Amino acid sequence: NAGVMQNPRHLVRRRGQEARLRCSPMKGHSHVYWYRQLPEEGLKFMVYLQKENIIDESGMPKERFSAEFPKEGPSILRIQQVVRGDSAAYFCASSPPGGRQETQYFGPGTRLLVL
Amino acid sequence: RKEVEQDPGPFNVPEGATVAFNCTYSNSASQSFFWYRQDCRKEPKLLMSVYSSGNEDGRFTAQLNRASQYISLLIRDSKLSDSATYLCVVNIPFSGSARQLTFGSGTQLTVLP
């Protein structure tokens, strides 16, 4: 059973470009979460999605960031017009339907570097 | 004040030592508590959940004191492979969603041969 998959693992963008980060949850999982980890800091919650629905986006920056989890395909975290401050590790986690809160399984992360 | 606070360390201990990590949280409405482990440049992995009654998993013991809003992790007979950053994690209900986790900044542990 494959774990949570994220790609790309590393992404380099120049300021002003767009970054698209993809996350495929574990098989059977319908809840997806995105977290950001800035250098030397802890993980910060960004958004919680279920299929075709954003449940909680209280941690998302107001501008340039968006997320989706379509009926088919992976969840996408999209960052438009990236700035150097967006450089971070972006982790996706998933949990099964009806599962307890703690059963969030993390993917390996995407490390974004903005030049 | 941070929602979840940890001593950042680093803790450098010899193999076989016992080491304890502490964590405090600010929101009394917090519902669930966990310790995660994160190796360098890797994803966090759940180490154990933390219950009011305390729980033990092999060499690891976790305690929760809701009155003091304090969580601890004790590692006995530490191994080289225990070297990692230990993250105190709390579920703080927010915006009606009980599913976002709030992470402390982590405590770095290095076990020395």
Is the minimum CB–CB distance between A25 and chain B shorter than 8 Å? no
With CB atoms and an 8 Å threshold, state whether B43 touches A107: yes
Would you say residue A1 has pLDDT above 60?
no
Is the minimum CB–CB distance between A45 and chain B shorter than 8 Å? yes
Separation of alpha carbons B19 and B54, rounded Å: 17
Nearest-neighbour CA in chain B from A76: distance (Å): 18
Residues with Cβ within 8 Å of residue B65, at least 6 apart in sequence: B71
Instruction: Tell me what pLDDT residue A77 has.
Output: 98
Phi, psi of A37 (to 5 degrees): -125, 105
Q: Where are the beta strands (DSSP E) in chain B?
A: 4-6, 11-14, 19-25, 32-38, 44-50, 55-57, 60-65, 70-75, 84-91, 101-103, 107-112
Would you say residue B98 has pLDDT above 70?
no
Residue of chain B whose alpha carbon sits nearest to that of A104: B46
Mutate to test the interface with A, among B51, B91, B101, B105 (most CBs of A within 10 A): B101
Instruction: Tell me what pLDDT residue B42 has.
Output: 92
- Sort out which chain A residues have CB atoms less than 8 A from B44's CB and list them: 43, 91, 106
| Cβ atoms of B100 and B91 closer than 8 Å | yes
Amino acid identity at A8? P
The four Cα atoms A66, A70, A74, A79 give a dihedral, to 10 degrees, of -10
CA A34 to chain centre: 4
CB nearest B32 (choices: A43, A102, A111): A102
Name the one residue in this structure whose structure tokens are 């013991």: B61
- Sort out which chain A residues have CB atoms less than 8 A from B32's CB and list them: 100-102
Q: Supply B112's token pair.
A: 């020395």
Separation of alpha carbons A86 and A39, rounded Å: 11
The four Cα atoms A107, A109, A110, A112 give a dihedral, to 10 degrees, of 160
Across chain B, what does the average pLDDT equal?
90
Name the one residue in this structure whose structure tokens are 């107001």: A62
Name the one residue in this structure whose structure tokens are 């250098």: A39
Residue of chain A whose alpha carbon sits nearest to that of B31: A101
User: How would residue A86 be classed by pLDDT, with cut points 50, 70 and 90?
Assistant: very high
Name the one residue in this structure whose structure tokens are 């992360």: A109
Separation of alpha carbons A92 and A35, rounded Å: 6
Would you say residue B37 has pLDDT above 90?
yes
